[in-house]
Structure 1
């Protein structure tokens, strides 16, 4: 991915508060927005629990963290989001190590992967981007409540994207069930459509709908835990480097979009860090470039009707419980 100069991030970073003594759990920290978020939290004094599947990339990222923030507190816990048992094991380890956590940042995601099933039978994109994060949220919620009760607030942040607006009929239940490998095939055109982009769009809409659904439940309980969502705009990360787009779309992306419209990975992380760190970030709000735009400051994005549809929120919550086997009662 072409290196981009950060336009807004230096000033944004300067204004972020000190978070010394707070614990942040972040998924997907080996590169991109997750790496930048973890590094930033450490720079601001927080302790970072990095959840990643085992790989050389974890070792490489750890060395980069140490070089960037020599005094930083980083804890690596193995967590494969395509394996529910691995996610549960990671949760158990976190609960053994910590009595409370300030923030769970559900950042990790994959994009436009083949129509394949995980070992649990789910679509690889949906399990990685939503279902495993559902388990993490349910399992770690008691630790967030402890932090909120003692410190005044705690946070869950879901990382959506502009792709949430690409769905034609809102959320569809079949994508959340154990139908992996049988969900539309491997068509990969972002302009003409195809199974890969349709499945990805469902996962990113799930991220925002999950936030709105959880916010309603937290408000009804008068909980001090905040739930926030974000989107990165067009961000120069390696999320889509594996994609084999049609030649004209590849030309459009590499020769026009990236050089002129895509913002830096740091600028793309401002929405995520707003939800995680900014003191006046509000629960029930999605932050990112305005109107799901490609670049710009992280500002509130108003919800679309299909994001706050009561039937969609109910279906998402109940089907996620059924598929993951966890009951998430707030």
Structure 2
């Protein structure tokens, strides 16, 4: 049984306040549906050149056609990118660099949730690689293009899509970042506390911690790097495809209860789009105060500010994909 339809409440007013972004290049992962689709559509509507990075599939092809249909004047460029294959990510980044020497915004949006204890072909946990490590690699490869944009235009942005699940853990365990896929607690889909969600929570805290530590390093580097804003966003509880089949076993009453706490995919995209296009302060997170509502600036959690977490994330991520030039 699927989730009841959720009505959009805030997105219209939010969208009316967005600035034009004519000529600015946005690189967004995971745009076939949900928040990423809304973000790609919106950036194009406001004049941006939108580069979408998705795994090659019929779904990706159809979503690109739909974007072009909904925004006939929009500029879209699809580049195949499988976040569960580091070689694919590197190839996609090389293609982006060759076509777009200046990038205004890299939106690390794509993600998976609650997956079983499986390894990618690279050996990492499927959730950690998809949600964090491959995005770390994209930043490593595309940072020169972001710095080039900041040097000319005064600003560029990196946005990491986290979630409320970052609250579920406070301290990292290094094993979740290493080549331990398939050996990280097994399969237990008990919400929040089951092994599937412990792995997910680590990846979502990683998104937020990455924003803080990367921003600090870019500020220390100075010059154009210090003009690159690094931000996080939180979709709240949004009616997107992220949950997959997690709700199929629930009763109509249970689904209705969840729906009452849920916002639409458009409303859930407000934090992401605010970070991409709005007036924001780095390295903060933007999203609803609870499970739904307008996107506002959030205070960092203790886990986000824990320097031990910073060190674990940076060391383990560089060990996986190489050093970021900061």
TM superposition score category, shorter chain reference = over 0.9
Q: Does 1:94 align with 2:93?
A: no
| Aligned-partner Cα distance in 2 for 1:95–1:253 | 47
Asked if residue 229 in structure 1 is aligned to residue 232 in structure 2, the reply is yes
Which whole-Å deviations, capped at 9, do the CAs of 1:195-237 have from their partners, x for residues lacking one? Answer: 1011000000000000011111122223100000000001011
Gaps of 5+ in 2: none
Partner of 2:245 in structure 1?
A: 242
Q: Which residue of 2 aligns with 1:19?
A: 21
**1:178 corresponding residue in structure 2:** 179
Q: Given that residues 4 and 256 in structure 2 are in contact (C-alpha distance below 8 angstroms), is that contact kept between their aligned partners in structure 1?
A: no
2:277 maps to which residue? 277
SS in 2 for 1:239: helix
CA distance in 1 between counterparts of 2:142 and 2:15 reads 28
Encode CA deviations 1:28-72: one digit per residue, 9 max, x unaligned. 000000000000000001010000011001111012111110011
- The counterpart of 1:307, out of the listed 288, 304, 308, is 304
Q: What's the counterpart of residue 6 of structure 1?
A: 8
Equivalents in 1 of 2:272, 2:199: separation in Å? Answer: 22
1:321 corresponding residue in structure 2: 318
Q: CA deviation at 1:311?
A: 1.2
2:154 aligned residue:
152
For 2:245 and 2:305, how far apart are their aligned partners in 1?
Answer: 32
Q: Name which of 34, 38, 41 aligns with 1:39.
A: 41
Give the aligned length: 321
Taking the aligned partners of 1:57 and 1:27, their CA distance within structure 2 comes to: 14
What displacement does 1:128 show? 0.2
Corresponding residue number in structure 2 for 1:209 = 209
Decide whether the 8 Å contact of 2:247 with 2:255 is kept in 1: no
Contact 1:29 1:50 in 2 (8 A): yes
Partners of 1:242 and 1:214 in 2: CA distance:
34
1:185 touches 1:194 (CA, 8 Å); kept in 2? no
Residues 56-71 of structure 1 mapped to structure 2, 5 A cutoff: 56-71=58-73
CA contact (8 A) 1:188 1:244 kept: no
What is the TM-score of this pair, normalised by structure 2?
0.96
Consecutive aligned runs of 4 or more in structure 1 exceeding 2 Å deviation: 241-245, 249-253
Question: CA offset at residue 320 of structure 1?
Answer: 0.3
- The C-alpha deviation readout for 1:240-294, integer Å capped at 9, x for no partner, is 022267x5x6666512011x1101111100000010000x21111000112xx10
For structure 1, list consecutive stretches of 5 or more residues without a partner in the other structure: none
State the match for 1:262 in structure 2.
262
- The separation in 2 between residues aligned to 1:262 and 1:110, in whole angstroms, is 18
